[in-house]
Amino acid sequence: MGGITDSVTTILREVAAEGDAAVRRFSQKFDRAELEALEVTEAEIERAYAQFDPQSLADSQFAIAQVTAFAERQLETMQPLEIETLPGVHLGHRIIPIETVGCYVPGGRYPLYSAPIMSIVPAVVAGCREIVACLPPNTHETMFALCHLAGAHRIFKIGGAQAIAAMAYGTESVPAADKIVGPGNAFVNEAKRQVFGAVGIDQLAGPSEIFTIADDSGDARVIAADLLAQAEHDVHTRVGLATTSARLAEDTLAAIDAQLATLSTRDTAGEAWARQGQIVVCEDRATLIDYANFMATEHLQIHATDAHEMAREIHNYGSLFIGENASVVYSDKCCGTNHTLPTMAAARYTGGLWVGTYVKVCTHQWMETTGVETVAPKAVRQSLSEGMEGHARAAALRLYPQAHDRILDGDIPET
């Protein structure tokens, strides 16, 4: 890991100092891409749309509509607040969109159409003023069209740690973002970790995870298919089953072996299963629930006769899939919930990417004279007890406007 950390530190430092020149240099080094213009042009976007087959475009539009609808309903639950807690003491908060967000869109052997939808669409719904997308220059061109379709205002052919650096610090071409979101490889993850503070980030994502918890009613073939579907993401994917049924455990193990034999992605999925696949048999329902909460997995499926009741007893998960029909694949692609979720047990303290990621909840307050009369004496006394005379003076000035000179000379009336 030290090698990645040091390499990323160098990339960040040089992009911050040299801007576009460093971005081009690292793009040539890591992506073998000679880039004149870093930003995707309108002509390139039009060409990318032309490469989209009609069905894939329609399916992507369906996914965008679903993610938009869910994000809009989520945003409606976040309301501004204005209350009077005491006579003359007015407190509140506003929901304010983050101005500029940078969305990293990972590359890969195949175009991952769902990735830009999940990071860009909630930013559109939140009302972010400028949405910047960065994706590796060797990404399939249709991804440019999809970033545009999802709502990105500007799109750049920059990948890896240099993309995070460009969005964090800004360059001659790339505007500096206030927050950076989206998953990526180890270099992207490390870059996000290092720039955090200078900018906000959504989370540090590890390899994907899926666990299914099941009772004796579970279907081994369905469970195996779902586990292998996630395992084909990466050889480091963590997949597993926890069940109260020894029979289901044995049947699932056999089903995984059988399905791997005919799966075109078995080299990746099979290695993930061999490295980190788990099947755990729990003695009873309570232990099964405790195990699920302990795992705090990214994706948690519940295949049980009382799936909805069991769901109410589980509180550590990135996203919950209740019942056999709710496959992780539907959320991964197009049903409407976000697929950028906490991994490595981070679900114990956070949820996944959502429209709230792109807004700030900022408080405000205002006082009438009656409010000052109630609050100021407490503030003065507390300030003096803490040895903070400046605080006490500032508080007392509002309480005794006729004695400003005395107060500023250090003569603070007793309250």
Domain contains 217: yes
Residue 177 has pLDDT above 60, yes or no: yes
Residue pair 159/134 in contact (Cβ under 8 Å)? The answer is yes
Alpha-carbon gap, residue 307 to 310, rounded angstroms = 5
179, 41: one domain: yes
Q: How much is the pTM?
A: 0.93
| Residue 309 designated active-site | no
153 and 259 fall within a common domain? no
Render pLDDT for 201-214 as a digit per residue (tens, 0 to 9): 999 988 999 999 99
- Catalytic (active site) residue 130: no
Please say whether the dihedral angle defined by the alpha carbons of residues 117, 123, 125 and 127, taken in this order, is positive or negative.
Answer: negative
25 and 45 co-located in one domain: yes
Task: Sheet with 81-86: list strands edge to edge.
Answer: 81-86, 89-97, 359-367
Q: Which two tokens stand for residue 406?
A: 């005395």
Provide the 3-class DSSP secondary structure of residue 75: helix
341 within a domain of the structure (yes/no): yes
| The pLDDT of residue 57 is above 90 | yes
| Residue 65 DSSP class | H
Summarize pLDDT for 317-348 with one digit per residue, the tens. 999 999 999 999 999 999 999 999 999 999 99
β strands within 167-236, DSSP E: 179-181, 200-201, 209-214
Among the options 190, 209, 232, 298, which is catalytic?
A: 298
Reported as a single tens digit per residue, the pLDDT across 266-289 is 999 999 999 999 999 999 999 999
Tokens 């100021």 -> residue: 376
| Residue 21 shares a structural domain with residue 143 | yes
Are 265 and 139 part of one and the same domain?
A: no
Q: Are residues 319 and 404 in the same domain?
A: no
In a domain, 360, yes or no: no
Q: How confident is the model at residue 296 (pLDDT cuts 50, 70, 90)?
A: very high
If you count them, how many residues does the chain have?
A: 415
Q: Among 161, 178, 202, where does a domain finish?
A: 202
Measured CA to CA, the distance from residue 268 to residue 144 in angstroms comes to: 27
Question: Measured over all CA atoms, what is the biggest interatomic distance in the chain, rounded to whole angstroms?
Answer: 87
Which range is least confidently modeled, 38-47, 312-321, 404-413?
A: 404-413
Q: Are 181 and 103 in contact (CB under 8 A)?
A: yes
Task: Concatenate the DSSP letters of all residues of 393-411 into one string.
Answer: HHHHHHH-GGGHHHHHTT-
Dihedral of the CA atoms 135, 140, 146, 151 (nearest 10)?
Answer: 20
Are 389 and 351 in contact by the 8 Å Cβ rule? The answer is: no
Same domain, 401 and 271: no
The string of pLDDT tens digits covering residues 78-96 is 999 999 999 999 999 999 9
Pair (106, 178) in one structural domain = yes
Q: 39 with 175, same domain?
A: yes
- Which contiguous run of DSSP H or E holds residue 367? strand 359-367
Domain-terminating residue out of 177, 202, 227: 202
My answer on whether 51 and 187 are in the same domain is: yes
For residue 2, pLDDT over 70 is answered with no
Q: Which of 148, 233, 299, 303 is catalytic?
A: 299
According to DSSP, the residues that pair with 166 across neighbouring strands are: none
Identify whether residues 258 and 186 lie together within a single domain.
no
Evaluate whether 166 touches 15 at the Cβ level (below 8 Å). Answer: yes
104 occurs within a structural domain:
yes
pLDDT digits (tens, 9 = 90+) for 96-155: 999 999 999 998 777 789 999 999 999 999 999 999 999 999 999 999 999 999 999 999
Tokens of 129: 């003023």
Structural domains in the chain (count) = 3
Q: Cα(53)–Cα(149) distance, rounded to whole angstroms?
A: 14
For residues 219 and 324, state if they share a domain: yes
